[in-house]
Structure 1
Amino acid sequence: MFYRLNLTNYNLNQQEKRNSKDSVFGDKCEALSTYDFWETAKVFSSADAKRMKDVEYCCSIFILANEGIVDQTNGKKINDYYDDYRDDFDKDGALEKKILKAMDIIEDIIDKTTIGFLSKKAQMYTLFCVIFQMFDKKKTFENFFEKVKIFVSVYSKFRNEFVINYDDPVMSSLYESIKKYKLASSEGINKGTNRTIRFEILYKLCNEESEEVFQALGKMTDDMRQRLDAKKDKKDELEMDDIIDKEEQS
């Protein structure tokens, strides 16, 4: 009876309705949501936890580990997993081990410069995509932190309003990639196509060996910082003008 009530109660969100079902998959996802990792990375708010959005997100991570990037613009995929894996899921614990191993790597790159990026659900999902693929391709994680950190640095300062035309082909290509990544992070973030765009760009960078690329990213970060500083100075000037106007009027 409780299951029927949950399905008809308009106050319940999709995950709260799923929670009324008996499902091994659901139990695994709920257990994953209790790890301290999520608090360390500041991925979930207290409101997320109250409405079981943390469990729903962990469903997406398990699905990613199991079959790769999928489109999740609605709840159908998770609903199917709750039904299809009602009696058995990840029996040997291989998927859970894969996720926990990825969590260990991510924890090692969390600091004050990366936390703002990693705490965003879409970006954390992208990083899991990258790490899972690196596991599958048996890639090393040498300089992984430095590579992610420099990407986060330029990404956090990148603004679409700052149109820069670079003559250097490496700089121009990187600029367009980050612009594309930014767009794929700002709308339809759970679409399979946008998830794939973000993954491909970050994966390529994390496996890049050319020092020229990272020097170019460093220069781009400086360029963006200068434009942000100029914008801030202009805003400060405008605010000071307002103060002067008010003083003259008083």
Structure 2
Amino acid sequence: MDTSASNRRLRVLLTAIGNGTLIPQPEFQRRLVWINKDKIEFIRTVLEGYPFPEIYIAAGKVDTKTGEGAEMLVDGQQRITTLYQYFRGSADLRLPKDFPRYDKLPEGDQVRFLEYKVVVRDLGNMSIDQIKQVFQRINSTSYGLNAMEIHNARYGGEFKKFAEKISQLEFFDDYRVFTSTDVKRMNDVMYCASLTATVMSTYFNRDSEVEIFLEKFNEEFDAQELLLKNIEKVLTFISRLNFPPKSRIYKKADFFTLFVEIYKILITANVDLNIPRVRSELETFFNHVDIVGTGLDTGSADVERYYKAALQASNDRGNRIARGEIISKTLRNTI
């Protein structure tokens, strides 16, 4: 594969986008997911003259009669599109009051912006299939990365930050809900994102709905202050149950269900729960679940059903619902 790198002045790229000879969003590109804050910081980088990583382009269609052709932006869509929005004064870009608009810049600063040199790697004339392969390799987030690491590469907004904040609460460290590997691979953030999305909606299959919330609340997440307060209230309640750190209730699947069902009663339904009675009921119930795990029969259909729903495919929607119904019944026995 013959590729070459060169510098192009930013004004050349912006002009090409304006006249349609540079296509910033071929069908194989990712959606724009930068939040407004990301865009402002990137524009500031260019205005201050700092470099950014190279972009990739490839040859597009050529009109054999006129000799005119187009190029496709294979990687660098968010960067170049953001600069084009700034240059054109697009309504899609919300500038802070203290941030200079392009048309208000001194002429010398406008020239420096337009003359900014962008490193461009030209992939030449390749088929769409080859370009897609290149793009996938460049953005190889699917190679060895888990779902949250992929989401982290795409979303840096408010919901993702909120999930991070929840995962860093002392409760999870005190009760060792997450392993060091969970933290390294961002499984703790995904878990808290799923937990948050569930209390905001309902049980869903594995982490299937997380990206919807990451995208919907990428730019703004107005409910986060109240939600944080409510989550902390539920965690405090669970902590006051005074189960030892090695208790079954802190295993991920069991804790997920317990947290959601307590949240539904304490927060959603606004019903008080008696801590000693809840502790007694849960201790009895989970002791029976552990007995089932040893192969003995407790004689309770709910306990058998819960154990099976927590043993395999515990994150499937059906099993989450099954566990939720049983824990809900157990909790409501204390009211």
TM-score by length of 1: 0.72
Task: Give the C-alpha shift of residue 117 in structure 1.
Answer: 0.7
- Aligned twin of 1:11: 144
- Aligned twin of 1:231: none
Structure 1 residues 26 and 162, CA, compared in 2 at 3 Å: closer, same or farther?
A: same
Name stretches of at least 5 consecutive residues in structure 1 with no aligned partner: 165-171, 211-250
- Aligned twin of 1:43: 177
- Aligned twin of 2:284: 150
Contact persistence 2:248–2:254 (CA under 8 A): yes
Q: AA paired with 2:216?
A: D
Q: Distance in 1 between matches of 2:147 and 2:139?
A: 10
Runs of 4+ with deviation above 3 angstroms: 1-9
Contact persistence 1:33–1:55 (CA under 8 A): yes
Task: Give the C-alpha shift of residue 91 in structure 1.
Answer: 3.5
Query: What does 1:184-199 align with in structure 2 at a 5 Å threshold?
Result: 184-199=309-324
Number of corresponding residues: 198
Q: Deviations for 1:118-142, whole angstroms, at most 9, x for unmatched residues?
A: 2211001011121112122232211
Structure 1 residues 209 and 124, CA, compared in 2 at 3 Å: closer, same or farther?
A: closer
Name stretches of at least 5 consecutive residues in structure 2 with no aligned partner: 1-74, 79-134
Match of 1:99 among 207, 212, 231: 231
Q: Distance in 1 between matches of 2:310 and 2:163?
A: 25
Query: Is the aligned partner of 1:29 residue 2:163?
Result: yes
Q: Distance in 1 between matches of 2:262 and 2:250?
A: 16
Q: AA paired with 1:192?
A: R
Query: Is the aligned partner of 1:180 residue 2:312?
Result: no
TM-score by length of 2: 0.54
The structure with the largest helix share of the pair is 1
Match of 1:108 among 240, 247, 257: 240
- Aligned twin of 1:161: 295
The structure with the largest strand share of the pair is 2
- Aligned twin of 1:64: 198
- Aligned twin of 2:263: 132
Query: Is the aligned partner of 1:121 residue 2:252?
Result: yes
Q: Distance in 2 between matches of 1:95 and 1:207?
A: 23
Contact persistence 2:273–2:334 (CA under 8 A): no
Structure 1 residues 123 and 94, CA, compared in 2 at 3 Å: closer, same or farther?
A: same
Query: What does 1:190-229 align with in structure 2 at a 5 Å threshold?
Result: 190-209=315-334
Task: Give the C-alpha shift of residue 160 in structure 1.
Answer: 7.2
Task: Give the C-alpha shift of residue 39 in structure 1.
Answer: 1.1
**Highest RCO, 1 vs 2 (Cα 8 Å, sep ≥ 6):** 1
